[in-house]
Structure 1
Amino acid sequence: MTYKMKKEHAFWATVCLLLSLVPEFLNALSEEADDTDSELGSMKPLHTFCAMKADDGPCKAMIRSYFFNMYTHQCEEFIYGGCEGNENRFDTLEECKKTCIPGYEKTAVKAASGAERPDFCFLEEDPGLCRGYMKRYLYNNQTKQCERFVYGGCLGNRNNFETLDECKKICENPVHSPSPVNEVQMSDYVTDGNTVTDRSTVNNIVVPQSPKVPRRRDYRGRRPWCLEPADSGLCKASERRFYYNSATGKCHRFNYTGCGGNNNNFTTRRRCLRACKTGLIKNKSKGVVKTQRRKAPFVKVVYESIN
């Protein structure tokens, strides 16, 4: 009997002790929540849309993009589906930082030549999600050299080059753009939009004019991936997919192998048409222009008698 009473006393003593610790535990949780709220509130992004969550949209394309994360206060990568979504989406990491992080100043690392390395040169090795075996090269920021790695065939990041020379040219030993020359050697060298015919008119300085290629931001809202040709990919599966043909303005069916390929790849014809507007064609000089059907001109035939 005495043993049973001691056992009950010990049980109730334990219960009382645990109940006494509950208020302290709840206070600790509330303090932690307050600290988290104050931490989130300490940084106000430059624009309201920077506080939106990443939205990949309803389409099924795979476009590498960036968004500002309010909880980590950093710009992070995500995969965009290709249509709709929200404004918290950027084509480059640098654009995201400049738009959403207050007081951000570009801290690009310069090589010995003085040329800047792109931001993606500092990304870590990423073989992607597929299981292919492709020899690629990446820039290792620790060794300051381009090194070989195995790429799976899809996704990954932009620190991924097909040849060693390409990696070295862009990330290991970036070079300045060519400086102007002092002699006229080709008739297609132009300055101020006019062909150079007299050296004295341009002070013996001519600049070769590169072809006018539309910048990426000029395509914003026009879906540039819709101009890419159908790409079946690298694997051996056979999936029915649809791609947009910019010449015909229609979505056509093709077989997708399951990995690799490009962003002009949709699971249904409806999503293809929804992502890529009809009536767009590729124009070498003006990028993308809308076309309209025109009625054939009326031709009047006149017959004359021959005497």
Structure 2
Amino acid sequence: MFSVHQPVQSANCSASHPVLCFFGHVRSQHVVSHRSNTRHFCVLPVRYKGLSFNNNNKITQNHFISVSEGDPCTLPLSRGSGNQFMDRFYYNQQTGSCQQFTYSGLHGNQNNFMTQQACEEQCGPNPCFEGRPFVGADGRTQTCSASANFNTCPLNHWCHIGSDLSTTVCCPGASTNVCNLPMSTGEGNANLDRFYYDAQSKTCRPFVYNGLKGNQNNFISLRACQLSCQPLDNPCIGQPATTAAGQVLFCSITNKDSCPVNFWCHIGATPETTVCCPGATNPCSVPLAPGTGNAGLARYYYNPDDRQCLPFQYNGKRGNQNNFESQTECERTCPVFKNPCLGEVILTPDGQPKKCRPMQKNSCGPSPSSSQTEFCHTGNPADQDSSFCCPRINQDPCDAFVRNGEGSLNLTRFYYNPVEGDCFPFQYKGSKGNENNFLTLKMCQETFTTACFGGETPLMNNGRVIQCHNVPCPASHYCHRGADVRSTVCCARRGNSCDQQLMLGVGDVTIERFYYDTTDDACLSFNYTGVGGNENNFLTKAECQIACPGYRGYCPHGKPDVADHRLTTCGIDTGCPRDHVCHVSKRGSKTVCCPDPATFCLVRADPGPCNRQIAKWAYDKTTGTCKKFMFSGCQGNLNSFDTVEKCTEICCDKGY
């Protein structure tokens, strides 16, 4: 026997002549195990001392032998021509088994294995009538199963059912007409009870199979033979599913999921017509199919028009999946309409329940107002057809208490709490809810609390938001006029409206509004989105012009002096009124009279009489620095800046 040694470090097989070595006595990167191409391989004796090498330190050509293409299991026995006596194994095609022989050490072939196990793993018993069993990508013979729900063998192969797992393999040469093949007892000594189809008598007959080399006309049971070859009372539109061995796949009411992919369980009048039929689809989307036959079976089908499960009589064959044994099963499978409203669901002109889109505002009617009578009840987000228009029970959603509803679902929703003035999550059961029920936190907040800039809470009284469409706001707040009554609320003032930048908002509506542009010194139109804006937002251009009379943006801080609705100009020969200085404006290089920092920087900061707390900066003449103070939101004086940088630029840098 060969003994295992470390690789010969000094011996290299030429990279241009790939080799296949039995023991690894050459460097591994040159070892090739691929059998599909003609290769060379080296055979080294047990004692590699004394091997002859050429000047390039290569194993001499005496140690190479050419191997032809093909399966080593099909090669004849080759004892070699050396003087060694090595116990080896080869595959004998005549007996279909691995047998021992003595190898001489040189000039053998690939049908040469170290152990019987290695030989059997490579060649094994061959049960196939022609060719050899299919070998997978891992180099192992692929087994199959007679009870599999689908053909596990590759294309043009069939599942040979032998006496054990080793002979239950995928054989080549699959026939397209199994039932016309002759009976074949095969080879071996297994004595297996099988059945074959006799094409002359058109019946299935028993025979004894020897276990190897048979053909596909070989069934493990009489029923399998009859179902595969004898005329079948086929209830399907198309051919039923079969196993790898050609046996028709049956199913049952309690085992409908046993059918393979793209097949469904047809429940017929008898077990013979309860089989796996092709064309699996959504049973709720196919029309009513009474079928053929005379079985007269009481069944239910789903009517998608009115979303109800209705009874019908099934004739027993050639139906489709919209066929249920009970109304309960039908309703459990298909989206049956169940009124989700506290009152009667709103109907369309043709009498159907009126659907809506939860993510689309006002999908049940016009813009929200005091006269709106319906709202969109949001169903299960997983079912796009589960949201319907319901009648309003509470005209104002703020007046509706949170309602968990009825049903078996557990959906996360949001409601508005008027006491807290904010939106909170709750678990909704799926139906019988009210208007205070929102799919997302954003939708809830946009409806109730986010009309003001930055999501600030609007002014409230006794836990209720004050709506200013007919009630004035206090001096500390202004009336934010949104797209509807709900978003017309009192929001906190943030300084002079004309000095605020353009704010389009964060809503999803389009409303024409006007704002004062300090650069152009004009009131311009813009599209407001309904919520999240600021005070520089006017319903009309005239309203904007009255609030922001112009001549803004000329001075670094404050407004220029105006006389008789005209700017006061200045120059070398023309001075400015008291407490003003001549300033060259960036706007058209005009010289105008601006408030004098030497005056307003030296006055004491004035918080104003209102009650807001807005951080501002003012120049302190005693320290010569800018200090923070809290501005109340109204009145005050010019010694008030939004940032410390602006304060420093206007006052400190001038050295006042």
TM above 0.5, one fold?
Answer: no
For the pair shown, the structure with the greater C-alpha radius of gyration is: 2
TM-score, normalization by structure 2: 0.14
More strand by share: 2
